Amino acid sequence: MNRRVVVTGLGLVTPLGTGVEKTWKGLCEGKSGVAPITRFDTEDFRVKIAAEVKDFNAEDFMDRKLAKRSDLFVQYAIAAADQALSDSGFKITDQNSARVGVITGCGLGGLPTIEKYHKVFLDRGPKKITPFFIPMVIPNMNAGVVSIHIRARGPNLTLTTACAAGSHAVGEAFQSIRRSDCDVAVAGGSESVICPLAVGGFGAMKALSTRNNEPEKASRPFDKDRDGFVIAEGAGMLILEELEHALNRGAKIYAEMAGYGLSGDGYHITSPPEDGEGAVRCMRAALDCAGAEPDNVDYINAHGTSTQVNDICETRAVKTVFGEHAYKLAVSSTKSMTGHMLGGAGGIETVFTALAIHTETIPPTANLENPGPECDLDYVPNMARKAKIRMAMSNTFGFGGTNASLLLKRYEG
């Protein structure tokens, strides 16, 4: 049916703060959420830094009982969803709940809980494993528990497509509303795996920055001295709504969802092809979905992980898709301040993209001092920029060669 879809509510839990206002302010000021890890002893680890959420209180959003039986990635999802619903002003009732979906992304689920109860099992035996263990760790519980918490009975789905999961979730929610599977959707992603196994595992791959002595400068996308990404945690949720439904209740509209593209590299489990061919097809698919031309796009919120391979390949892909217009685009990586929130990144960065359009402010790429080879686009270095944005793209690419691109545009009636 191709119904029009708009963004009417936003919610965030990030290393820059709990809440949209706190995070967006810090982001536009170029603040870093990266610091030494506090969750566990890092003495034996090469990597000693991460972007942890520092101000979160679960009981601000749920009762103690629910918090106790929910892994952090679920707690963060509930908090971001509650914020987004409150921001939207939309009320879920018995009459409309079957038309409200919850579609989320997550990469690794309850890995810290798996670590915890594996130790309990080894030390104290199987009888000491909590009956909530399985529901705490399975990745779809950010959608499942959120839907129960807010009483949403429409489409319920979790995508576990690695670092592209949050964007895939927003894209699938967009398509669900377009084809009238639902009228409203809570969509986004969450992740919380700052734990020994994850830090050790990504560290063993040499994927993480080891700039332990300067945590706030460790995430430096497109800079020649980048040495890996910084693992992070958080959640970002949006309320997507069919346009007439939103207008009929007088909703505030941040932006309109315009297009969604997805593709697979079919190349390597962790590295993109050198020419970024999968990302090229993904971005073009989003443009085709929106019926847009490359020169309609003014801003790209880049995947921009701060790894040697990603930043070059993404830059090459942007140049292929946008041609000469690539040099007129603003491109920034907000991971330079938030770190990489894995399966939560796409939801959070879609919120940032909507805010960039709504506030006419492009967040910077922090720590970009000397651009690396081939990294010669306008990456909005170190300072936010005021700009009227007609259309913006958000890219996320995941291990396994899974890609997602979202297009949002200024709502003009």
**For this structure, is 358 an active site residue?**
no
Q: Could you tell me which residues are beta bridge partners of residue 16? A: none
**Could you report the per-residue pLDDT of 211-250, keeping only the tens digit for each?**
999 999 999 999 999 999 999 999 999 999 999 999 999 9
Residues 88, 239: Cα–Cα separation, whole Å: 7
Please name the residue that has the structure tokens 């809570």.
186
Of 198, 197, 200, 191, the C-alpha closest to 71 is 191
Give the active site residue among 149, 168, 245, 340: 340
Joined tokens for residue 276: 């970024």
- Average pLDDT on 251-258 reads 98
Residues 309, 267: Cα–Cα separation, whole Å: 14
Give the active site residue among 149, 168, 245, 303: 303
Joined tokens for residue 224: 């020649």
Q: Is 100 helix (H, G, I), strand (E, B) or coil?
A: strand
Would the pLDDT of 413 be above 90?
Answer: no
Q: Which residues contact 340 (CB under 8 A, 6 or more apart)?
A: 163, 219, 229, 230, 231, 232, 305, 306
Q: What is the pLDDT of residue 20?
A: 98
**For this structure, is 282 an active site residue?**
no
14 neighbors 348 (Cβ within 8 angstroms): yes
Give the active site residue among 28, 106, 163, 282: 163
Would the pLDDT of 49 be above 80?
Answer: yes
Of 190, 210, 189, the C-alpha closest to 199 is 210
pTM: 0.97
Banded model confidence at residue 201, pLDDT cuts 50, 70, 90: very high
Task: Give me the half-sphere count of Cα atoms (radius 13 Å) on the Cβ side of residue 177.
Answer: 32
231 neighbors 48 (Cβ within 8 angstroms): no
Banded model confidence at residue 2, pLDDT cuts 50, 70, 90: confident
Q: How far is CA 47 from CA 35, 111, 218, in A?
A: 11, 18, 11
243 neighbors 389 (Cβ within 8 angstroms): no
Q: Could you tell me which residues are beta bridge partners of residue 161? A: none
**For this structure, is 149 an active site residue?**
no
- Average pLDDT on 60-80 reads 97
**DSSP states of 377-405:** S---BSS-EE---SEEEEEEEETTTEEEE
